[in-house]
């Protein structure tokens, strides 16, 4: 095991040396495509709006802790990261940093002392932010109350705890460069692309990462596993793709965290888990024009027809029939009162499950987590009293949960793969988010 790892590390180092020579230059210049509403004149207000869209605060704030003072745990396959203090405290925060230090962190992923930073801090997206915008963010951060709170060390597994490996990682996977507008596209589109790819870093969650934690490629249609959830692909209308939605519906989802059931032709979606946090902490406070620009860009993404690697379970048709029968009974007893006898939903209290891509997408992780832990969509200004889904982990066994999910994934013309009780059991542990 250890030998394999070391061999792997050596290999990465070799490849890195090769790639070193083929590396394109960093692009440090370029202006951000202008926002559709006039940007605030005041540089601090300008920075505040960007910091909000970039979601810096929730990731750099522990539950109940001082804003931006760090200490939040971020679980990953490599171990647990703890965000550092980025308040203007000179000793434990970034109070002693110069604007240039901050730029190097956001754009190049280096700490002030020159150490390479882990890409859990999504500088791989933030690198697209223009220098002018980055410095406005720094000006705003200098105005938040300084808090003395030393950083907590990450708890990472070997070899990921070896920070110097990041030198190789960066050579392989990181291309710094400010966003360069596409002259063939509209200003809205360019603004949207700048926000989605850079500031709001949607791809940091929504694209698959390889075994080394790098986003595989910009055209990779697979979604990504993050924070124990599956972030569905924005490049597939079978997952989270918004290609066929109206711009108004997209803005409404991003702003309120939920859409559907108020008009018959409306698409349905509810945000839960990490996406509920993105809406609650960041998107709901954004200027609607910024969301509109994002919608323009999101609609233009290619709609890739993909079936992620077939996750077929070996299960006999008799076994499946038995599971479906048990699932049907469980559904009638526990779910139908909110989701309808035939998965048609009960407006406004329960969304339809028939034809709902949150149920039918190839990965079963989210339906499993939703049935285990329930949850409310975020309580936003546009949806201040959301209905909630009850948690079933206290009352149903893994086998029962697998059966009822298999049932909803394969009834009413839903046509997704069955779910096993081992898969349910895997999701019983770990942080909830």
Partner 1 sequence: MRLNPKRSHARRCAVVFLAAWTVAAAQSPSPPLDSIDQRVQPCMVCHGKEGRATSDGYYPRIAGKPAGYLFNQLINFRNGHRHFPMMTYLVERQSDAYLQEMADYFARQDLPYPPPQALSVPPAVLARGEQLVMEGDASQRIPACRSCHGARLVGVAPAVPSLLGLPRDYLMAQIGAWKNGTRRAAAPDCMAEVAKDLSPADVNAVASWLATQPVPENAKADAEFAEPPPRQCGSIPDHTSTSAP
Chain position carrying tokens 């790819």: 197
Q: Which of 135, 270, 403, 424 binds ligand HEC (CB under 6 A)?
A: 270
- Angstrom CA distances, 277 to 73, 323, 378, stand at 15, 34, 7
Q: Which is nearer to ligand HEC, 178 or 231 (CB)?
A: 231
Buried b (16+ CB within 10 A) or exposed e, 17-51: eeeeeeeeeeeeeeebbebbeebeeebeebbbbbb
For residue 143, the minimal CB distance to partner 1 (Å) is 22
255: CB partners within 8 A, 6+ apart: 279, 283, 284, 286, 288, 291, 380, 382
User: Which of 71, 176, 350, 418: binder of ligand HEC (CB under 6 A)?
Assistant: 350
Q: 82 or 433, CB closer to partner 1?
A: 433
One symbol per residue from 63 to 92: x for binding ligand HEC (CB under 6 A), - otherwise; what is it?
-----------x------x-xx-x------
* 347 within 8 A of 359, measured Cβ to Cβ: no
- The site partner of 382 among partner 1, ligand HEC, none (C-beta below 5 to 8 Å per kind) is partner 1
Q: Which stretches of the chain bind partner 1, using CB under 8 A?
A: 62-65, 248, 252, 256, 259, 262-264, 266, 276-277, 280, 337-338, 346-349, 373-376, 378-379, 382-395, 431-433
List the one residue out of 231, 172, 232 whose CA is nearest residue 433.
Answer: 231
Residue 259 interacting partner from ligand HEC, partner 1, none (CB closer than 5 to 8 Å by kind): partner 1
Instruction: Say whether residue 32 binds ligand HEC (CB under 6 A).
Output: no
Residue closer to partner 1 (CB basis): 186 or 246: 246
Task: Give bridge partners of residue 389 from the DSSP assignment.
Answer: 375
Q: Give me the residues paired with residue 225 across strands.
A: 230
CA distances from 99 to 95, 107, 228, 429 (A): 11, 12, 35, 42
User: Is residue 367 a contact point for ligand HEC (CB under 6 A)?
Assistant: yes
> Judged by CB under 6 A, how many residues of this single chain contact ligand HEC?
71
Residue 348, binding choice from partner 1, ligand HEC, none, Cβ under 5 to 8 Å by partner class: partner 1
Q: Which of 49, 205, 293, 372 binds ligand HEC (CB under 6 A)?
A: 205
Stretch 390-419: interaction string toward ligand HEC, x if CB under 6 A? xxx-x---------x---x-----------
CB of 41 to ligand HEC, least distance (A): 21
- Is residue 105 within the footprint of ligand HEC (CB under 6 A)? yes
Which 113-142 residues touch ligand HEC, going by CB under 6 A?
Answer: 117-118, 120-122, 126, 137
C-beta atoms surrounding 274 within 10 Å:
14
**3-class DSSP state of 93:** coil
Residue whose CB is less far from ligand HEC, 12 or 110? 110
The site string for ligand HEC over 328-347 (x = CB under 6 A, - otherwise) reads ------xx-xxx--------
Please name which of 401, 433, 405, 427 lies closest in space to residue 418, comparing C-alpha atoms. Answer: 405
Q: What is the CA radius of gyration of the chain?
A: 23
Residue 222 binds ligand HEC, judged by CB under 6 A: no
In this structure, are residues 284 and 381 in contact, taking their beta carbons and an 8 Å threshold?
A: yes
**Candidate list 136, 168, 202, 372; residue touching ligand HEC; CB under 6 A:** 202
Cα distances from 325 to residues 17, 318, 333, 359, in angstroms, run 58, 11, 13, 19
Partner from partner 1, ligand HEC, none contacting 64, C-beta within 5 to 8 A by type: partner 1
């Amino acid at each position: 095991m250890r030998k394999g790892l070391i061999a792997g590390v050596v290999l990465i180092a070799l490849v890195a040396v090769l790639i070193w020579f083929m590396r394109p230059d960093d692009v440090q210049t370029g202006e951000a495509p202008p926002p559709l509403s006039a940007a605030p004149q005041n540089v601090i207000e300008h920075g505040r709006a960007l910091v909000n869209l970039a979601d810096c605060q929730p990731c750099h704030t522990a539950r109940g802790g001082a804003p931006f003072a760090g200490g939040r745990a971020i679980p990953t396959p490599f171990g647990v990261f703890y965000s550092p203090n980025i308040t203007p405290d000179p000793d434990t925060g970034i109070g002693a940093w110069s604007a240039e230090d901050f730029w190097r962190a956001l754009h190049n992923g280096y700490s002030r002392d020159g150490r390479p930073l882990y890409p859990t801090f999504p500088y791989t997206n933030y690198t697209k932010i223009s220098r002018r915008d980055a410095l406005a963010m720094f000006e705003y951060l200098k105005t938040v109350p300084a808090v003395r709170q030393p950083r907590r060390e990450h708890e990472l597994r070997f070899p990921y705890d070896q920070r110097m490996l990041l030198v190789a990682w960066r050579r392989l996977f990181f291309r710094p460069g400010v966003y360069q507008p596409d002259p063939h596209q509209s200003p809205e589109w360019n603004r949207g692309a700048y926000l989605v790819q850079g500031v709001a870093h949607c791809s940091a969650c929504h694209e698959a990462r390889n075994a080394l934690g790098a986003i595989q490629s910009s055209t990779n249609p697979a979604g990504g596993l993050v924070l124990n959830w599956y972030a569905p692909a924005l490049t597939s209308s079978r997952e989270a793709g918004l290609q066929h939605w109206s711009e108004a519906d997209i803005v409404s989802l991003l702003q309120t965290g939920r859409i559907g059931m108020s008009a018959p032709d409306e698409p349905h979606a509810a945000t839960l888990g990490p996406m509920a946090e993105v809406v609650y902490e960041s998107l709901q406070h954004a200027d609607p024009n910024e969301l509109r620009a994002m919608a323009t860009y999101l609609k233009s993404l290619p709609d890739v027809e993909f079936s992620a690697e077939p996750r077929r379970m070996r299960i006999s048709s008799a076994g499946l029939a038995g599971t479906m029968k048990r699932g049907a009974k469980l559904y009638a007893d526990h779910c139908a009162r909110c989701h309808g006898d035939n998965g048609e939903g009960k407006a406004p209290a329960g969304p339809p499950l028939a034809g709902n891509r949150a149920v039918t997408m190839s990965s079963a992780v989210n339906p499993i987590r939703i049935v285990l832990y329930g949850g409310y969509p975020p309580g936003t200004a546009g949806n201040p009293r959301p209905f909630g889904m009850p948690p079933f982990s206290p009352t149903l066994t893994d086998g029962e949960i697998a059966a009822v999910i298999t049932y909803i994934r394969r009834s009413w013309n839903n046509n997704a793969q069955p779910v096993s009780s081992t898969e349910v059991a895997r999701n019983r542990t770990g942080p909830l988010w």
